[in-house]
A and B are shown apart, each in its own frame.
Chain A
Amino acid sequence: MPRSSRRRPAAVLLALVALAAFVLAGCGSNSSSGPAATSANAGPCGTTANTTLTVGLFGTFGFKEAGLWDAYHKLCPNITIKEDVVEQSADYWTRLKTRLASGSGLDDVQAIEIGFVADVVQNHADQFVNWNQVPNAAADKAEFYDWKWQLASTSDGATTVGLGTDIGPEAICYRQDLLKQAGLPSDPKTLAQKWATWNDFINFGKQYEASATKPSGSHFVDSAASIFSTAVYQGNEAYANAQGQADVANSDGVKGAWGYATTAAQDGITAGLQQFTPEWNKAFSSGAFAALACPTWMMGYIQSQAGDSYAGKWDIAPVLPGGATNWGGSWLGVPQKAAHKDAAIALVEWLSAKDQQVTMWKNGGHFPSNSQAAAAPAVSNATSAYFSNAPVGQIFGDISQQMKIPPIGLYDTQIQQALTTQLTNVETKGTSPGDAFNAALDAIKQVTG
């Protein structure tokens, strides 16, 4: 009927997926999955034949923008690269799952985000090339921060599904002009001392709120979620136990983070915004908040939202209250059913190498997961003019080295969404932290089943 824009029963959608799985499973021939070692005499490009490699990505990965595809084509003239991009990583993951279930339609290279890497490791490890068994395995492994390698590996370490691209070490980004206006210290060194723990951070926030000179309507931090989703990964456990099973009720990370976030909410130091909404985006320039937890990639986000006129008003403090941790980052994997496996392995190894990761940092601010790249002068000496010439390479490099990462689980993304949604209720509707936590547990049960 005419109401085409309203979804027909998702039955259709669901069934299409099922149909695809049903039909394609029949078509997909079981291609030989021999070791990649056969590539030894095929040269550094993995093949000498003219080949088009497809690379499945989400959002803006930035390889093309950084000129890496052109560079690779110069290095391997027989290889042409075609991107297969889905805008939202959640949609990308649904599509990847569909293709993995049907065993067909997979790209030669598939990006894997931290939000679903645990699922790939637990449920699909045998469907990806194991980087512990490629010819260059030892050299590949030596490049990365240990924790980055482990997140993409099975718990016994035997299988690794992807090589790292970027990581998201976190610091605190803040509006130095707003802190100054509120009569508070605003230089990064002093703030690094004043923000050593979350309690310090919250107390500083109370001083900001109490200031008579701060802009009216401005709050210290953007959201309780900002505090929560950072602090939760500072525990020994976040949303999953050591076996990778979802466990929220017994997690020290959740308990601590919930305490800090609800305290901040009830002390009124948060702006009550939901992250990644239009209101939140507008607030980067409106001055509705003065600080937020800031992984490396957030720098680019802030610049694009606040615009050039705010250059020099933002700064970065070389500290993360409660200890160093990570937010975000991706890997590149090669499906066993990739049409050009050897060429794909060669490409991923090249992209993960030091020089290319340095290029990705210089063109787009993707912080290297390759520790040698992070140590390269082009990264470690980098400063950001937009962020008041903060020594960003050094700040994030230091944090990356101190990083402590708890186990990640299958449902981290959904669990975090459920908890941060309830934090918004504590902030904006006065829901008691206890009720909100129970409501979150209720919603989480819908996910874990």
Chain B
Amino acid sequence: MTAVSQSQVAVRRPAARRSRRSLLPGQRIAYVYVLPFFLVFAAFSIYPWVATAWVSLHDTRLTTYNQSNWVGLANYRNLFSNHFFWNAFRNTLTIGVISTVPQLCMALGIAHLLNYRMRGRTLFRVAILMPYATSLAAATVIFAELFDPKLGLINWGLHTLHLPAVDWQGSKWPSQIAVSTIVTWRWTGYNALIYLAGMQAISADLYEAAAMDGAGRWAQFRHVTLPGLRPTILFTIVVSTIGAAQLFGEPLLYHNGLPDGGTQGQYQTLGLLMYQQGWTNDRLGLASATAWTMFLIIVVAVSANLLLARRRERREGRRVSVVPGPREVVAP
């Protein structure tokens, strides 16, 4: 759009443009400064996108890479009529929900607590970030040991409580919960820190005003903190959604590096399916179709998030104008 309006400007007032350019002799150099980024972006983002789309329209195997055949949309048709894809799609969705929802709720609570003045605050703040700094492989291996159905600590704990042992590897829901636990453990602290930063940007005056109006801690959290954090929350939801849709390392390592997501595919995610198609089964065309489908799913999910948030904002905005209160000041 800018390009269009600029050219219109150029048509109408060519002299003005030329003179503006001559006024700023260093302007062109700016393009040179941003060029490296765009070169890298083109090589590692644009080209891969286009190439993946192209490969997804072919029957391609790496071993016969130079003899791939054009098959049109056959890979996509194959994918959508394929129960492996739908299984992975459902698993990605359920694991995404099981991991993201508790993760963000807990992060919010932890951030709220850490926002209070207390002794050793820095220590706690560093501590909650530790899981994030842990290597994914190390964490998953430890969790796989904990969840080991035969020798794991968790089943041992259940046993001492006289509860039946759970098959954390072979059964669908327990295994999905186990994988989600790893995700939750790793990312809760990270999200809490983001929330904490968002909370500190909320003016202390608002809390004072709310306190003066007789709002308790809980009311302050609901009516000052939450509205003030809305953009931050939206950000973490978007990032978590993308992360959940791409979930790969945890379920891979949870089955000892096999991309099948358990012997019955009980926790195979789309990321794993794509990897299995591409590298284990050597069907790059099908894997590329999965990659593009995943990309579209993520775009749809993120757009849905943003749309919901905007609609909510608009609704809130209307209500705020009717009911005056501390929110009016916060919601821009």
Report A's interface with B, CB cutoff 8 A: 1-3, 5-19, 21-22, 90, 94, 97-98, 100-101, 119, 123-124, 274, 276-279, 282, 410, 414, 417, 421-422, 424-425, 428-429, 439, 442-443, 446-447, 449
Contact = CB atoms under 8 A, between A and B. Distances in A.
Contacts of A94: 62, 279
Contacts of B258: 417
Contact of A277 (B136, B256, B271, B284): B256
B256 A278 contact: yes
Contact of A12 (B48, B264, B280): B48
Interface string B276-289: 01111111101110
Contacts of A447: 280-283
Contacts of B274: 10
A421 B263 contact: yes
Given A14-B278, A449-B283, A101 B84 contact: no
Interface stretch (B12-20, B109-117, B204-212, B240-248): B240-248
A5 B291 contact: no
B190 A10 contact: no
A341 B256 CA distance: 39
B47 A10 contact: no
Given A6-B243, A11-B291, A19-B48, 20 more contacts: A1-B239, A3-B243, A3-B246, A6-B246, A7-B248, A10-B278, A14-B55, A15-B49, A94-B62, A124-B63, A274-B256, A277-B256, A282-B151, A414-B281, A422-B263, A429-B264, A439-B264, A446-B277, A446-B281, A447-B281
A449 B145 CA distance: 36
A250 B192 CA distance: 58
B260 A6 contact: no
B247 A19 contact: no
Interface in B269-309: 271, 274-275, 277-284, 286-288, 291-292, 294-295
Given A10-B274, A449-B59, A90 B279 contact: yes
B65 interface: yes
B279 to A, nearest CB: 6
A53 B55 CA distance: 35
A221 B144 CA distance: 24
Contacts of B264: 425, 429, 439
A420 to B, nearest CB: 10
B22 to A, nearest CB: 40
- The 7 A-B pairs with the shortest beta carbon distances in the complex, nearest first, are A15-B48, A101-B65, A11-B52, A7-B248, A11-B291, A5-B136, A97-B62
DSSP class of A's interface residues: helix, strand, loop or mixed? helix
Interface in B66-83: 66, 82-83
A310 to B, nearest CB: 19
Interface of B: 43-45, 47-49, 51-52, 55, 59, 62-66, 82-84, 135-136, 144-145, 148, 150-151, 170, 187, 190, 239, 242-243, 246-249, 256, 258, 260, 263-264, 271, 274-275, 277-284, 286-288, 291-292, 294-295
Contacts of A442: 83
Contact of A17 (B49, B62, B144, B243): B62
A11 B190 CA distance: 26
B59 to A, nearest CB: 7
B239 A3 contact: yes
Contact of A421 (B136, B260, B286): B260
Contact of A19 (B43, B84, B282): B43
Contacts of A279: 148, 150-151
A67 to B, nearest CB: 32
Q: Which of B48, B59, B275 has the most CB of A within 10 A?
A: B48
A119 B279 contact: no
Contacts of A97: 62-63, 65, 282
A439 B48 CA distance: 34
Q: Which of B190, B274, B275, B295 has the most CB of A within 10 A?
A: B274
Contacts of A90: 279-280
A428 B279 CA distance: 28
Nearest to B238: A1
Nearest to B273: A446
B248 to A, nearest CB: 4
A279 B149 CA distance: 10
A4 B239 CA distance: 12
11 contacts: A7-B249, A7-B271, A11-B288, A11-B291, A15-B51, A19-B48, A90-B280, A97-B62, A279-B151, A414-B281, A429-B170
A428 B170 contact: yes
A1 B258 CA distance: 26
Contacts of A9: 246, 291, 294-295
Contact of B48 (A6, A16, A21): A16
Contacts of B83: 442
A429 B248 CA distance: 25
B106 to A, nearest CB: 17
A119 B256 CA distance: 26
Nearest to A286: B151
Nearest to B132: A2
B166 to A, nearest CB: 14
Given A7-B248, A19-B47, A279-B150, A14 B65 contact: no
Nearest to A282: B151
Nearest to A1: B239
A123 B63 contact: yes
B208 to A, nearest CB: 33
A446 B271 CA distance: 16
